[in-house]
């Protein structure tokens, strides 16, 4: 028996694994193609062949089949023996009309706004900061403000990403029966809407940039008279005196210095009875996979932001005069980091 054969087999397997990782960007490209073409929408009524899908979307059938065949290896669509493709549970999330649609989120996450900086990851690692401005001529949020379509795609994509998370987050923390909840940087208001629906005694304030607030989703009969939209800059100040302050996917956009500016603005607005809920990924220790570890690299390449561990949240909040009281997991990939005003020592 060749004693080297098991060793060679193991090396071959690892070589195949590394090669697949190296070509992982092709899965992203195929996913973006399927999302932008609306393939999932065309499969709602049942399976279709690549030829039928190509006729409906105006693309090359052989090339579309090859892209869908790749996605099917990861459970996004499935091809049957006749060559027809059908929806899978994962592919169903690409339907534009689904209640938890991720189609706009997929388009956003695979856009050049994130893709091009990821290509320059080595430069980011060497420099110690994002090279986003070298690529696009302005920092991330300034770029979105300068290019209306990019800003629209980002806001729409973030709203789509939030749809699958908001109810789980709203259910994870026991909100008070009465009082005011300020959603800082709350975008179009998806999370605040779920909080208000679940807690009919609460009043909500959606706090964000004026151009974002124009597309809010709070104008529903059941919420009438229970909310207001308030434009502003969370680096400078936030509305004062609320019982609950909520920030979802905000701190991960910024480095520690930027986060401290936001948190100190929150601290200045809070009373001793206020609660701050930071909703972000909380990174586990060790080598276990976690979606936050992927997002951490995304934040690093585009924004100089980062995902944080429990210890890092503790240090950051403490530096802003806040005390971390507990961390609650949710049914999503995010956690609720609860903080209160740090009592001054006598």
| Active-site residue set | 252
Q: Which residues contact 300 (CB under 8 A, 6 or more apart)?
A: 121, 124, 130, 306
Q: Which ranges constitute the DSSP H helices of the chain?
A: 4-22, 25-37, 39-42, 50-57, 61-72, 89-92, 103-109, 112-119, 121-127, 132-136, 140-146, 148-163, 166-172, 190-198, 210-213, 256-269, 291-302, 310-319
**CA-to-CA dists, residue 312 to 267, 277, 323, 346, angstroms:** 18, 16, 13, 27
CA distance 260 to 256: 6
The DSSP bridge partners found for residue 227 are 204
CA distance 252 to 255: 8
Residues written for the chain: 346
At what angle are helices 291-302 and 112-119 packed, to 10 degrees? 90
End-to-end CA distance of the chain: 77
Ramachandran angles phi, psi of 344, nearest 5°: -75, 135
Helix (H) or strand (E) holding 239: none
Contact 232, 266 (CB under 8 A): no
At what angle are helices 61-72 and 25-37 packed, to 10 degrees? 120
Question: SS in 3 state form for 81-135?
Answer: CCCEEECCHHHHCCCCCCCCCCHHHHHHHCCHHHHHHHHCHHHHHHHCCCCHHHH
């Amino acid at each position: 028996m060749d004693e080297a054969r098991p060793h060679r087999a193991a090396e071959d397997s690892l070589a195949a694994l590394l090669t697949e990782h190296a070509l992982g960007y092709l899965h992203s490209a195929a996913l973006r193609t399927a999302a932008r073409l609306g393939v999932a929408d065309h499969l709602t009524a049942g399976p279709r062949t690549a030829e039928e899908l190509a006729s409906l979307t105006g693309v090359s059938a052989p090339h579309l089949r090859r892209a869908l065949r790749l996605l099917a290896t990861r459970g996004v669509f499935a091809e049957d023996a006749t060559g027809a493709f059908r929806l899978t549970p994962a592919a169903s999330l690409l339907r534009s009309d689904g209640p938890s649609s991720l189609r706009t989120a997929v388009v956003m996450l695979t856009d050049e706004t994130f893709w091009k900086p990821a290509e320059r990851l080595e430069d980011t690692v060497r420099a110690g900061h994002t090279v986003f401005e070298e690529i696009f001529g302005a920092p991330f949020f300034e770029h979105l403000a300068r290019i209306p379509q990019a800003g629209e795609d980002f806001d729409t994509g973030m709203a789509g990403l939030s749809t699958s998370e908001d109810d789980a987050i709203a259910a994870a923390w026991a909100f008070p029966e009465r009082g005011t909840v300020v959603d800082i940087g709350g975008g179009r208001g998806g999370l605040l809407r779920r909080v208000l629906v679940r807690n009919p005694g609460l009043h909500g304030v959606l706090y964000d940039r004026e151009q974002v607030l124009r597309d809010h989703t709070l104008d529903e009969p059941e919420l009438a008279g229970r909310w207001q939209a308030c434009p502003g800059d969370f680096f400078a100040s936030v509305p004062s005196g609320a019982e609950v302050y909520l920030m979802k996917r905000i701190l991960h956009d910024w480095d520690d210095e930027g986060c401290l500016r936001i948190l100190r603005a929150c601290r200045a607005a809070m009373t001793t009875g206020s609660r701050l809920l930071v909703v972000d990924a909380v990174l586990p220790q060790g080598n276990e996979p976690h979606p936050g570890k992927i997002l951490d690299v995304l934040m690093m390449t585009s924004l100089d932001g980062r995902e944080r561990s429990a210890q890092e949240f503790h240090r950051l909040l403490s530096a802003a005069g806040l005390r971390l009281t507990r961390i609650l997991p949710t049914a999503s990939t995010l956690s609720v980091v609860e903080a209160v005003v740090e009592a001054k020592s006598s």
